[in-house]
Chain A
Amino acid sequence: MSWYKPSDVGFATRSKLADLGLGARLFFRLLLSLPSTFRRFGLVRDQIHFLGNYSLVIIAVSGLFVGFVFGLQGYYTLQRFGSSDALGLLVTLTLVRELGPVVTALLFAGRAGTSLTAEIGLMKAGEQISVMEMMAVDPVQRILAPRFWAGVIVMPLLAAVFSAMGVIGGWAVGVVMIGVDAGSFWSQIQGGVDVWKDVGNGVIKSVVFGFTVTFIALLQGFEAQPTPEGVASATTRTVVVASLSVLGLDFILTAMMFT
């Protein structure tokens, strides 16, 4: 059990490598399942309903309040430089480029990722997955793939809702409450935000995060120990690993897109 025994180090390394290989294999199987999954779209639609519709409220409300706070804090900083007209641009660029995709992915990991992990972990604990395999039904195809693609579809839509609500929140605080000129608020936004470079890259980011978060949640559920403790720790791992991956990936994507 001690970390310095060579045999233990070797065993730990090998099992990590095996985890990595298994994860990669599962990821490619999920990617290749695209055509056959969409032939049975009903399964995907039910998962979109479960992942998307139920996350909509928390995403919209969070976006609105993030927009409120940005309106207040941005105004405080900008009015020192006498450029409070740029408030709209500040709020919109921050939301569309960074906060929209990232915060949505973090909330999605907490709201939907955990439920995916717990659901699949409990299926495993209840031996439902083994039963499916015995009936020659591929659990990856039948259970994981619809959830995976639903997550990938849902994430950019949720991120767009988050950003749009945030812009409206920033407008509510900046224009309605504080009294920044509405015309210059919008014209600054329209002059400074590019459809492809800003909005488009934000959508690409959120698609990447959709792949990441959903895949991590499914992998943790699928690999969970089939016990109550195993499901509990898998759910925790989903949040931790998904959040860290999203933040790390965000840095890489930002460095690639906006330099």
Chain B
Amino acid sequence: MQRSKNDVWVGIFVMIGAAAILFLALQAANLLNLSFQSTYRITAKFDNVGGLKPKGAVRSGGVVVGRVESLVFDDKSFQARVTLAMESRYAFPKDSSLKILTSGLLGEQYIGIEAGASEKNLVAGDTISSTQSAVVLENLISQFLYSKAADSSSGSMTAPPSGSNEKK
């Protein structure tokens, strides 16, 4: 009598615990969406992938159409080889181009795919060659400084040699 009553309560407890784990796995970690959509793999070569990470999004027009599967360095071409798992329900022309973009100012990096004009579509195993690397902040700043320096040096060339500085 006592035992069967305990059985029910323990069963309820285990059910609640299992429901909590399921909630975390399905709602929080989105297990279903990750594993049950069929994908096809394509590769792309980038000079610089910046802060791109595995599981990063591939977006087209802002919609997630695939995920970054792996990032490896290719020591033949000295480029980063990125494997993308694209969702099968989206097809893209063979000459589509890839770009590494950043969502927001401090957001994470993702790959933007822009459709090309080819008649044929990408199939599994294809390689995309027209890619645009991530923007490296240091390069951007040094370019900016360089152009600034070039501006100011050319400015001082045209300005009278001295005197004008002393006035200021």
Interface residues of chain A, those whose CB is within 8 Å of chain B, are 42, 45-46, 48-49, 52-53, 56, 81, 83, 92, 96, 154, 156-158, 160-161, 163-165, 167, 186, 189-191, 193-195, 198-199, 203
Contacts and interface: CB of A to CB of B under 8 A. Distances in A.
B136 interface: no
Interface of B: 3, 6-7, 9-10, 12-14, 16-21, 23-25, 27-31, 33-34, 55, 57, 104, 106-107
B65 to A, nearest CB: 14
Contacts of A56: 13, 16
Given A190-B29, A190-B30, A163 B16 contact: no
Contacts of A199: 21, 24-25, 28-29
A154 to B, nearest CB: 8
Given A161-B17, A164-B19, A195-B25, 20 more contacts: A46-B3, A46-B6, A48-B10, A49-B6, A49-B13, A53-B13, A83-B104, A96-B28, A156-B17, A157-B20, A158-B17, A160-B17, A160-B24, A164-B20, A165-B20, A167-B23, A167-B24, A167-B28, A194-B55, A199-B24
7 contacts: A45-B10, A49-B6, A92-B28, A161-B20, A164-B19, A189-B27, A193-B28
A203 B17 CA distance: 12
Contacts of B28: 92, 96, 167, 189-190, 193, 199
A38 to B, nearest CB: 14
A83 B106 contact: yes
Contact of A157 (B6, B17, B104): B17
B6 A45 contact: yes
Contacts of B34: 195
Contacts, number: 84
Nearest to A88: B28
The secondary-structure label for the interface of chain A is: helix
B106 A163 contact: no
Nearest to B35: A195
B18 A198 contact: no
B6 to A, nearest CB: 5
A198 B21 CA distance: 12
Contacts of A45: 6-7, 10
A189 B106 CA distance: 17
A83 B107 CA distance: 9
A160 B20 contact: yes
Contacts of A92: 28
Contacts of B27: 167, 186, 189-190
B20 A194 contact: no
Contacts of A160: 17, 20-21, 24
Contacts of B13: 48-49, 52-53, 56, 154, 157
Nearest to B14: A157
A57 to B, nearest CB: 11
Among B17, B55, B106, max chain A CB count under 10 A is at B17
A96 B55 contact: no
Contacts of B25: 195, 199
A164 B23 contact: yes
A201 to B, nearest CB: 12
B30 to A, nearest CB: 4
Nearest to B17: A157
A96 B23 CA distance: 12
A96 B13 CA distance: 20
A164 B16 CA distance: 10
A45 B3 CA distance: 9
Nearest to A153: B14
A161 B29 contact: no
A198 B17 contact: no
Contacts of A83: 104, 106-107
